[in-house]
Amino acid sequence: MDTTPRNARYLVLYDGECGFCDRTVQWLLDHDRDGVLHFAPLDGPTARAVRQRHPRIPPDLDSIVYVETDTGGRERVYWYSRAIFRICRRLPAPWSLLAVLSVIPHVVADLAYRGFARVRYRIFGRVDHCRLPDAHQRARFLP
């Protein structure tokens, strides 16, 4: 069953227990002035539905996943550094300029991403509570 609302064209799936991931989502909420990004935890029903529709997503992936749906309803899924660079494209300047880093070979960028991901819990810990979003922000979170 598809749990993604039709207006959620840009969906960020994140690790809901990761302190760094939580801070990143909070940062994105503050900087996505147009409110186009939607969010769902990697272990929730929305992410499970995305994984069922896209079996090429590695089953043990605990990376940020970005799902972009075009106007025809076709989804494209990105993870690791590609997800980060695609998300940057949706942000206003100067943050959108970070997308230029996508010229870095994905093998190199993904290696750096995975290296950081291995130590993120040690550096930023796990989240046991998060900031309560306002009503407008709450509508951007999916199960």
In 3D space, the residue among 5, 141, 16, 13 whose CA is nearest the CA of residue 78 turns out to be 13
* pTM beyond cutoff 0.85: no
How confident is the model over 34-83, as pLDDT tens digits?
A: 889 999 999 899 999 999 999 999 888 878 999 999 988 899 999 998 99
Q: How confident is the model at residue 4 (pLDDT cuts 50, 70, 90)?
A: low
> Tokens 């998300």 correspond to what residue?
87
Q: Using the predicted structure, report yes or no on whether residue 91 has a pLDDT greater than 60.
A: yes
**In whole angstroms, what is the distance from residue 44 CA to residue 51 CA?**
11
Q: How far is CA 89 from the centre of its chain?
A: 13
Report the pLDDT value the prediction gives residue 129, as an integer from 0 to 100: 59
Report the pLDDT value the prediction gives residue 86, as an integer from 0 to 100: 92
Report DSSP letters for 7-53, one per residue.
Answer: T--EEEEE-TTBHHHHHHHHHHHHH-TT--EEEEETTSHHHHHHHHH
Single-letter amino acid code for the residue at 107: V
Give me the helices (H) in 80-132, please. 81-89, 106-124
Q: Where are the chain's structural domains?
A: 10-138
**In whole angstroms, what is the distance from residue 97 CA to residue 107 CA?**
21
